[in-house]
């Protein structure tokens, strides 16, 4: 009868297989296998050692860190594969966005999707945004349904804003939220944009409702 036996040696796991090049063939095993040790060999792409350690680890060995590390690496590799496995050319799509205003600020909720009520792309690459006195620019690339999408928003403001008083926050579900101070305050804009109406714009009703009393008071004061 063949009896498989592991020989646990006293040497530390890190560097053990370098000091004992025939360890796997001779069923030798380091005495202190840790998650850090396994992750170290993963980082060196020594998969034969990793497979050996995982196939023969002791039941009391905590592999939580190894699982977390591999999960993170899998996510990153999936991103890279998705980027490589798509056409080089991108489809240009204007992102959907909605807006609201107070007497002092405008609020813009940009969603990396073709509709404000559709699922947004949460994994944006080559992202950029810029606010100037009369213009907002937002750009980002995304992989959706196997296609490379370039979301590109170029918006001319109805009036001037204070480009030095801008807050930008990343929201959930592929959103980007702007809080931008108006240059002249108090003031109520007739609309957000100058020129032709953007096809993907809508009113941010729930946000607008929070400023209803403020706007009503302004209109009453101005006799509007």
pLDDT in tens, 110-166: 999 988 888 888 778 788 999 999 999 999 888 777 678 889 999 999 999 999 999
pLDDT tens digits for 193-217? 999 999 999 999 999 999 999 999 9
74 and 158 together in one domain: no
CATH number, domain containing residue 188: 2.60.40.790
Are 62 and 113 contained in the same domain? no
Distance between CA atoms of 108 and 101, rounded to whole angstroms? 9
Residues 115 and 68 occupy one common structural domain: no
Q: Name the CA radius of gyration of the chain, rounded.
A: 28
Neighbouring CB atoms inside 10 A of 30's CB total: 21
pLDDT at 64: 85
Tell whether 163 is covered by a domain. yes
My answer on whether 95 and 74 are in the same domain is no
**Are 95 and 15 members of one domain?**
no
Same domain, yes or no: 100 and 153: yes
For 71-123, the pLDDT digits (tens) are 888 888 877 766 665 555 678 889 999 999 999 999 999 999 988 888 888 77
Question: Domain boundary at 53, 84, 115, which?
Answer: 84
* Model pLDDT, residue 84: 66
List Cα–Cα distances, 205 to 86, 98, 108, 131, in angstroms: 37, 9, 12, 23
- Establish if 146 belongs to a structural domain: yes
Residues 185 and 137 in one domain: yes
Range of the domain at 50: 7-84
Q: 193 and 129, same structural domain?
A: yes
How high is the pLDDT of residue 120?
Answer: 83
The alpha helices in 85-203, defined as continuous H runs, are none
pLDDT in tens, 8-42: 433 467 778 888 888 888 888 787 778 888 888 88
Residue range 54-66: mean pLDDT, rounded: 76
Encoded tokens for 132: 């100037």
Whether residue 48 is found in the same domain as residue 105: no
Indicate the residue among 84, 115, 150 that finishes a domain. Answer: 84
Residue where a domain stops, chosen among 61, 84, 107: 84
Residue among 173, 174, 152, 164 at smallest CA distance from 95: 152
Statement to judge: residues 66 and 149 lie in one domain: no
Judge if 106 and 76 occupy the same domain: no
How many structural domains are present in the chain?
2
């Amino acid at each position: 009868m063949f009896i498989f036996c592991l020989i646990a040696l006293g040497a530390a796991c890190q560097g053990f297989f370098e000091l004992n090049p025939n360890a796997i063939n001779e069923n030798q095993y380091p005495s202190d296998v840790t998650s850090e040790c396994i992750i170290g060999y993963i980082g060196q792409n020594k998969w034969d050692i990793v497979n050996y350690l995982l196939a023969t680890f002791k039941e009391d060995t905590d592999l939580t860190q190894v699982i977390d590390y591999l999960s993170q690496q899998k996510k990153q590799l999936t991103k890279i594969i998705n980027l490589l496995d798509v056409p080089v050319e991108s489809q240009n799509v204007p992102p959907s966005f909605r807006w609201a205003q107070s007497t002092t600020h405008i609020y813009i909720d940009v969603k990396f999707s073709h509709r404000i009520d559709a699922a947004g792309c949460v994994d944006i690459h080559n992202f950029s945004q810029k606010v100037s006195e009369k213009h907002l620019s937002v750009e980002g690339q995304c992989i959706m349904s196997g296609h490379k999408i370039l979301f590109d928003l170029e918006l001319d403001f109805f009036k001037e804003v204070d480009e030095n008083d801008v807050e930008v926050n990343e929201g959930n579900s592929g959103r980007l939220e702007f809080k931008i101070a108006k240059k002249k305050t108090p003031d109520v804009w007739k609309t957000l944009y100058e020129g032709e109406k953007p096809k993907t714009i809508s009113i941010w009703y729930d946000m607008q409702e929070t400023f209803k009393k403020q706007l009503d008071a302004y209109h009453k004061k101005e006799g509007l």
